[in-house]
């Protein structure tokens, strides 16, 4: 009796390839639009803003402004159903708000 995980229990490469191809075909058949790169960039810049705010004040403001701009430009793409990513934009705005509150609280502690 063979134990699970032995070569006798594994599927051949052809079956794995066929099942992967079937999975990809099903994914493509859903006709979902791609995620907006601008929305992903907005979230990335928002996280960078929050992280940089502690060490680089003025540079962090530029990064935060970029996050806001990317988020605003992503919204029309998402609204017209060309792209997905509304959750990314909302998360970016939430992270920006948290970053601003964090900066404000640090500034109040330093005074």
State phi, psi for 35 to the nearest 5 degrees: -75, 140
pTM of the model: 0.67
Identify whether 76 is part of a domain. Answer: yes
Identify whether 70 is part of a domain. Answer: yes
Alpha-carbon span 18 to 65, nearest angstrom: 47
Identify whether 28 is part of a domain. Answer: no
Contact 39, 88 (CB under 8 A): yes
Task: Tell me how many domains the chain contains.
Answer: 1
Q: Which residues of the chain have pLDDT under 70?
A: 1-15, 27-30
Identify whether 41 is part of a domain. Answer: yes
Identify whether 77 is part of a domain. Answer: yes
Identify whether 95 is part of a domain. Answer: yes
Q: Which domain holds residue 96?
A: 37-110
Identify whether 85 is part of a domain. Answer: yes
Identify whether 12 is part of a domain. Answer: no
The pLDDT value given to residue 4? 56
Alpha-carbon span 88 to 85, nearest angstrom: 5
The pLDDT value given to residue 87? 93
Alpha-carbon span 92 to 97, nearest angstrom: 9
């Amino acid at each position: 009796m063979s134990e699970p995980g032995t070569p006798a229990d594994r599927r051949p490469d052809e079956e794995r390839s066929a099942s992967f191809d079937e999975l990809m075909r099903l994914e493509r058949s859903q006709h979902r639009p791609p995620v907006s790169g601008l929305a992903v960039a907005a979230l990335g810049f928002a996280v960078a803003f929050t992280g940089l705010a502690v060490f680089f004040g003025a540079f962090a403001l530029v990064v935060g402004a970029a996050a806001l701009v990317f988020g605003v430009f992503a919204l029309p793409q998402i609204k017209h159903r060309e792209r997905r990513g509304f959750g990314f934009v909302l998360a970016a705005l939430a992270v920006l708000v948290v970053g601003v509150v964090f900066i404000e609280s640090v500034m109040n502690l330093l005074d």
